Every structure is written in structure tokens, then in C-alpha cells.
Amino acid sequence: MERKSAILMNRYELGRMLGQGTFAKVYHARSLATNQSVAIKVIDKEKVLRVGMIDQIKREISIMRLVRHPNIVQLHEVMASKTKIYFAMEYVRGGELFARVAKGRLKEDAARKYFQQLIGAVDFCHSRDVYHRDLKPENLLVDEHGNLKVSDFGLSALKECQKQDGLLHTTCGTPAYVAPEIINKKGYDGEKADIWSCGVILFVLLAGYLPFQDSNLMEMYRKISKGDVRHPQWFSSDARKILSRLLDPNPNTRITMDKLIEHPWFKKGYKPAVTLATPRASKDLNDVQAAFSTDQKDGKGNRAEQPNSPLKPASLNAFDIISLSKGFDLSGLFEKDQEQKSNSRFMTQKPASAIVSKLEQIAETESFKVKKQDGLVTLQGSKEGRKGQLAIDAEIFEVTPSFYVVEVKKSAGDTLEYERFCKKGLRPSLKDICWNGPSEEKLPSVSESVPPTPSSKSTKRNGI
């Protein structure tokens, strides 16, 4: 691949090497289809398998698919051969922001512009439950127009990585930029840890050097833990104030993202970026798993499309049915944010095929895409909402051959937009197949009255 075969997967012409790490090399390349410059990250499969980094690479692919924003380096596609994984990414011509800071500190207005773009990108990541965890000038690129681009999501985490206490526990990042709570090996909030790193970056942009420096690593950690920082005399009073809020060693009192964006120093000349359309869920994308499959062929870019599995409704046993009853719902004892939990259920005697057909009709009317697999029908919105594209999961359960329960819940997007869709689109359209749903404010739960039917008698005979 180095020079003997300059054409990759019949799609890209490889050029010079831009950089390399332990497990990957990055090349400049040109798309044969569009003539567009791209960066190709080449990862050695054997090395990442040997050190157990499979899940980390999969997560990086997933997250880069999820965070589509003008100030984030974009992942165009993922390809694979038997021995290599290839990321085709946006090529950023201007290089690292670190190189600009290395020449000397920036003027306050220039530093503010980069910081605003950084916060816009990081806030977008947080709205998708993504935490970068390695924010530093070396991972911030600048394009030919002077716009900042966040890169390298190799250490990033999703909200689902949190433990039962709702916190992250993996110690990672670059020592000079990590938050005190990470150094102290306590559980930490990914959003607040990223905000601290952004504060360190802002200090570096304004000062030209790190806020916590010491040749002794333990002494540097002590300074970070205490928030022991001295501001240069050329810092403006407003810059000092915002930095003191960003570099607060107590995560509970550290400035939040919402308050930061409303801060007078930050708001000066701020122009929020227009976000890009975002795929619904990274973990559902074929290329995440396909990148690690063993049936890849060298030199071939096209991959066999995996058809959707036939939809097979899941079966409910007695314990499942009891747990669906409101009187036996104990989730409030274990789950947080119950107000944000949006789901509804309806019952029907129509077969699974009729339920799916009805959902497909609703999707077509509302311009949603449909994906079907293992009893789950996903409706994926095409419009970008307040919190990304709306996505709705409808899971079909078979109680008896003539009695089905369908649970509908929001899997992505804004709750208000979901409720509006249910009220105006979903409920009226389900009128002819579900019981009671269209005339009620909420779709009926399984615990509500069930008309005397052969299926309900059958359920009683089974001792339920």
C-alpha cells in the first residue's frame, strides 16, 4: 500500500504521509470520484486486536458518525481489508492550532473566536451524549479559512459508558489538560471534565503557555487539584473572570455549558454554527461491525449490503406482562430522570405484518426512514431538530398468536418534538388497529382494561 499500490479500494489515490502513531498512519489522499482531498487513517487490525482495542476503535467510528458539526473533523466513510481498517476523513489544510500558539500568544479577539468555535463543537458533542476527554491544542486543527476543527475522538466516551453512579471512571487524557477529579481518580462527569480542558486551552491561547506547569509531575498534579493558577498581567478582567469559572477545581461549582455560552465575554461577536444532519445511532451503522469482519477482500471497496433480518416479534412471559402493569412498575426505584422517559404502549389483535405496514405508512407520511430487525421497527426522522434528528423505536411483543403489545419510545431527538409527533401523527394513524389509543390523551398501557376476547381468555388459562 505504501508505494507499490497507490490506489486504495479503487476509490482513493494515496499521497504523502501526514503523521503516524503506535497503531495508525495518516495519509493525504484524493478521491477518484470527486477529486476532493481527504485524509486516510490506516489502522493495523492485528495490532489493535492484540492489545484489545477493538471496542475503542468501534466506539471512535460510532462517535465520529454521530457528531456531524462544522467545527468537528468529519468522517466520510470506513473501509476495511483483511489486515487494515481505513478511515476516510475530512482533510484540514491549516494544521494544528498548537503550531500557531507555539509562535506566541494570540490576541484576545482571535483567542475568543477559536474558543467560541471549540465550545460550539464540544456543546454539540455533549448534546449527543459524547464526551471527548482529550481536548488540547494538538487535537484542534485549523482549516484554510481559519475555522477550528476538533479531531481525535480515540479517547472519547458515550453516556452509556457511565457506571451506576452516573459517572465515568476511566483515567485518561493528557496530564496538563485533565480535570482535578480525573487526577484524583474519583468518578467524574464527562461534560464538566471537558469544560475544564477547554479552560486550559483558553488560558494557553491567551498566555502562550500552560496554566499548570512543573517539571515534577506530582507537583503539577497538586497545582491542578488546588486550581493554583496565576494570570498574566495582560489578561483583561473579563478574561480572568471567565477563566476562574472554567478552572474551578470543584466540578460542582464549575461553570456549566449553558452559563458559559451566556457569559458576556463569550457572547461578544458569537455566531453559532449551523449544524449538519446527524445519523441516528452510531451503533446501528453497518460499517462499525463490517470494519472488523473477516470476509473483507484486499483491493475491493464495495461490501455486500446486509439485508434487514425478518421481523420476528419478541414473546412476553408472565413476568414481562406483570412488569408492564403500572401497579408493578418499580423502575422509579432504580432509574433517574423519570420525567425524561418517553414511551407509550398500545395493544392490538392485528398481526405483526399489519402493525409494521401501518408504521411504514406513518413513516412515509411524515418523511421518516424505516428500519426493521428482530421485532423492532425504527422510524428515523430526516429533519434536524433541536436535539438532532428524531428517532422512534416501536417494539412488537407477541402475547398470544392473536394478541400483540407494541411499545413506542423516543430513542433520539427532542422530547417535545416526539410528543408532538405522537399527538398529531402517530395516535390518529393508529386509530384502526389499536384499542382506545386515538381517543385518549395517552396510548393505553397493558394494565388498562382489555375487552373480553379469546386471546385474553387464553392468557388466563396459562395462569397469568
Are 130 and 122 contacting, i.e. CB atoms less than 8 angstroms apart? no
Distance between CA atoms of residues 7 and 29, nearest Å: 9
Distance between CA atoms of residues 162 and 157, nearest Å: 9
Distance between CA atoms of residues 8 and 6, nearest Å: 6
Q: Of 305, 284, 280, whose CA–CA distance to 373 is shortest? A: 284
Residues 6+ away with beta carbon under 8 Å from 176:
136, 200, 210, 212, 213, 220
Secondary structure in 3-state letters for the chain: CCCCCCEECCCEEEEEEEEECCCEEEEEEEECCCCCEEEEEEEEHHHHHHCCCHHHHHHHHHHHHHCCCCCECCEEEEEECCCEEEEEEECCCCCEHHHHHHCCCCCHHHHHHHHHHHHHHHHHHHHCCEECCCCCHHHEEECCCCCEEECCCCCCEEHHHCCCCCCECCCCCCHHHCCHHHHCCCCECHHHHHHHHHHHHHHHHHHCCCCCCCCCHHHHHHHHHHCCCCCCCCCCHHHHHHHHHHCCCCCCCCCCHHHHHCCHHHHCCCCCCCCCCCCCCHHHCHHHHHCCCCCCCCCCCCCCCCCCCCCCCEECCHHHHHHHCHHHCCHHHCCCCHHHCCEEEEEECCCHHHHHHHHHHHHHHCCCEEEEECCEEEEEEEEEEECEEEEEEEEEEEEECCEEEEEEEEEECCHHHHHHHHHHHHHHHCCCCCCCHHHCCCCCCCCCCCCCCHHHHHHHHCCC
What is the set of active-site residues? 134
**103 marked as binding residue:** no
What are the φ/ψ torsions at residue 310 (nearest 5 degrees)? -55, 140
Are 61 and 48 contacting, i.e. CB atoms less than 8 angstroms apart? no
- The binding site for ATP comprises 41
